[in-house]
């Protein structure tokens, strides 16, 4: 099992999660609806934190649930947890091992909040600390850089959103995602060739907005972990408030810009970067005119409902990072100084 093979197995894992965990998700939604939940208090680290960014947009837009991202150090080092009345306390983790993430759910229970663990290990400390557990069933992930566990987390969050809505049409849209993911992964060889162009890239920015704010952060994280590139993620809106000043001719800008409510603003930013700043653009999109702005365009299938684009859109970004690692002569299975499980306090 390699990083590359784990990327390629994601459609099957997503299909299995949809098939095997729908009933469990509907029960979780039933229990959430039965409580006076006013907001979500979510804790995660690393890649799982980026899944939390997706939940922030998804559950806010479709389920009317404000979401606050926890600061776990308040629960451990400072021992000063905030009041969590009427919160749904959610922990997202691949391993479920990090003590600081577990501490947030334990405190949620002490304050009589409903707690939910979204995890790939249902026998983990995080799962034992939760009232409700959703096993994302990604299978053992041997690669240090998380890929299939991330998309499984996104799918789990999307399933909960659809179940809270009791929306048959949204379940139908979810059912189409594994096939769209498979179609996207057929770009593997093209992306491998594309990565050659960026062999000497040492720094870049990664742009996304809306639902794909999370994708920008996750793409940047994979580049940092695997290729040691200084990759800085931004909302395209925040990027205009200062950071755009660093862009000069040939500076690499990577962007995720699928069609949807924020697409026009993303396209306008990319056009400005290409025409006024002569930036080097790598763009993932399902819009032909947006792709035409890029020196390195990566097409997505069309159409994908905007709320589900992060599940499909991250796949070519993962492939890009994986292939660039090999192009740079680095080992994608053994990134330096990091391990698979990080137990922070």
pLDDT tens string 6-45: 999 999 999 999 999 999 999 999 999 999 999 999 999 9
- Single pTM value for the model: 0.96
Q: Which of 89, 95, 3, 13 lies closest to 52, judged by CA?
A: 89
Question: What CA–CA distance (Å, rounded) separates 184 from 221?
Answer: 21
Strand partners, 68: 41
pLDDT-based confidence at residue 264 (cuts at 50, 70, 90): very high
pLDDT tens string 156-213: 999 999 999 998 999 999 999 999 999 999 999 999 999 999 999 999 999 999 999 9
Q: With 60 as the cut, is the pLDDT of residue 345 above it?
A: no
Domains 3-175 and 184-327 share a fold: yes
pLDDT-based confidence at residue 334 (cuts at 50, 70, 90): confident
Q: With 50 as the cut, is the pLDDT of residue 340 above it?
A: no
Question: What CA–CA distance (Å, rounded) separates 121 from 136?
Answer: 8
pLDDT for the residue numbered 37: 97
Mean pLDDT of 70-87: 92
Question: Could you tell me if 184 and 44 are in contact, meaning their C-beta atoms sit under 8 angstroms apart?
Answer: no
Q: With 90 as the cut, is the pLDDT of residue 335 above it?
A: no
pLDDT for the residue numbered 339: 65
Question: Could you tell me if 315 and 7 are in contact, meaning their C-beta atoms sit under 8 angstroms apart?
Answer: yes
pLDDT tens string 83-122: 999 999 999 999 998 999 999 999 999 999 999 999 999 9
Where along the chain do its domains lie? 3-175, 184-327
| Strands across the sheet containing 252-256 | 230-235, 203-208, 252-256, 280-285, 296-299
The fold for domain 184-327 equals Rossmann fold (3.40.50)
pLDDT-based confidence at residue 341 (cuts at 50, 70, 90): low
pLDDT-based confidence at residue 242 (cuts at 50, 70, 90): confident
What architecture (CATH level 2) is domain 3-175?
A: 3-Layer(aba) Sandwich (3.40)
């Amino acid at each position: 099992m390699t990083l590359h093979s784990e990327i390629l197995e994601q459609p099957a894992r997503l299909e299995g999660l949809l098939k095997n965990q729908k009933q469990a998700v509907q029960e979780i939604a039933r229990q959430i609806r039965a409580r006076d939940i006013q907001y979500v208090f979510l804790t995660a680290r690393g890649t799982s934190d980026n899944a939390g960014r997706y939940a922030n947009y998804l559950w806010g837009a479709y389920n009317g649930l404000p979401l606050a991202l926890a600061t776990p150090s308040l629960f451990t080092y400072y021992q000063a947890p905030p009041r969590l009345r009427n919160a749904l306390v959610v922990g997202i983790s691949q391993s479920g091992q990090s003590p600081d993430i577990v501490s947030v759910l334990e405190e949620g229970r002490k304050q009589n909040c409903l707690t939910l663990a979204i995890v790939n290990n249902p026998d983990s400390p995080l799962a034992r600390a939760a009232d409700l557990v959703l096993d994302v069933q990604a299978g053992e992930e041997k690669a240090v850089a998380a890929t299939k566990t991330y998309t499984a987390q996104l799918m789990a969050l999307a399933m909960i959103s659809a179940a809270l809505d009791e929306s048959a049409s949204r379940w139908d849209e979810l059912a189409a995602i594994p096939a769209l993911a498979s179609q996207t992964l057929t770009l593997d060889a093209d992306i491998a060739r594309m990565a050659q162009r960026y062999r000497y890239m040492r720094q870049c920015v990664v742009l996304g907005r809306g639902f794909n704010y999370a994708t920008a952060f996750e793409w940047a994280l994979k580049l940092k972990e695997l290729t040691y590139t200084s990759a800085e993620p931004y909302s395209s809106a925040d990027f205009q408030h200062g950071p755009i000043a660093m862009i000069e001719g040939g500076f690499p800008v990577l962007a995720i810009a699928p069609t949807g409510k924020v697409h026009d603003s993303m396209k306008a930013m990319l056009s400005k970067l290409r025409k006024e700043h002569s930036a080097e653009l790598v763009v993932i999109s399902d819009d032909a005119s947006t792709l035409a702005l890029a020196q390195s365009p990566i097409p997505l299938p069309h159409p994908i409902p905007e709320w589900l684009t992060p599940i499909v859109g991250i796949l070519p970004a993962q492939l890009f990072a994986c292939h660039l690692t090999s192009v740079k002569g680095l080992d994608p299975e053994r990134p330096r100084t990091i391990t698979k499980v990080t137990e922070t306090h």
